[in-house]
Amino acid sequence: MLSNIVVVLPIFALIFTGWIAARCDVLGLEATRGINRMVIYLALPAMLFDIMANADPGEIWRPGFISAFLIGCGAVFAATLALRLRQGSHLADAAIDGLNAGYANVGFMGFPLVAEIIGPEGLAATLIATIITACILFAAAIILIEIALKSEARRRDIARKTALSLVRNPLLIAPLLGAGFMIGGFTMPHALDVYLTLLGGAAAPCALVVLGLFLAQNSGRRPRAGGGVQAALIGLKLIGQPLVTWIVAVPVLGLPPLMAQTAVLLAALPTGTGPFMLAEFHEREALLTGRVILISTVLSLISLPLLMAAWH
Give residue-wise pLDDT tens across range 192-205.
999 999 999 898 88
Q: What is the distance between the alpha carbons of residues 224 and 303, in angstroms, rounded to a whole number?
A: 27
pLDDT at 312: 63
**Of the ranges 3-17, 95-109, 205-219, which is most confident?**
95-109
Q: What is the distance between the alpha carbons of residues 193 and 212, in angstroms, rounded to a whole number?
A: 30
| Between 28 and 167, residue with greater pLDDT | 28
Q: Stretch 84-95: mean pLDDT, rounded?
A: 93
Q: Are the C-beta atoms of 238 and 296 separated by less than 8 Å?
A: yes
Given a cut of 70, whether residue 226 has pLDDT beyond it is: no
Q: Write the CA distances from 217 to 34, 44, 227, 281, 285, integer angstroms.
A: 15, 24, 20, 16, 14
In which band, very low, low, confident or very high, does the pLDDT at 85 lie, cut at 50, 70 and 90? very high
Given a cut of 90, whether residue 111 has pLDDT beyond it is: no
pLDDT at 211: 86
Nearest to 289 by CA among 206, 223, 237: 223
Q: Stretch 76-87: mean pLDDT, rounded?
A: 96
Q: What is the distance between the alpha carbons of residues 159 and 61, in angstroms, rounded to a whole number?
A: 33
Given a cut of 80, whether residue 156 has pLDDT beyond it is: no
Given a cut of 90, whether residue 241 has pLDDT beyond it is: yes
Given a cut of 70, whether residue 154 has pLDDT beyond it is: no
Q: What is the distance between the alpha carbons of residues 49 and 171, in angstroms, rounded to a whole number?
A: 9
Given a cut of 80, whether residue 219 has pLDDT beyond it is: no
Q: Are the C-beta atoms of 88 and 105 separated by less than 8 Å?
A: no
Given a cut of 90, whether residue 148 has pLDDT beyond it is: no
pLDDT at 246: 96
Given a cut of 90, whether residue 20 has pLDDT beyond it is: yes
Q: Stretch 104-118: mean pLDDT, rounded?
A: 83
pLDDT at 42: 92
CATH number among 1.20.1530.20, 3.30.420.590, 1.10.1040.10, 3.30.565.10, domain 2-311: 1.20.1530.20
Look at residue 150 and give its three-state secondary structure. coil
Given a cut of 80, whether residue 269 has pLDDT beyond it is: yes
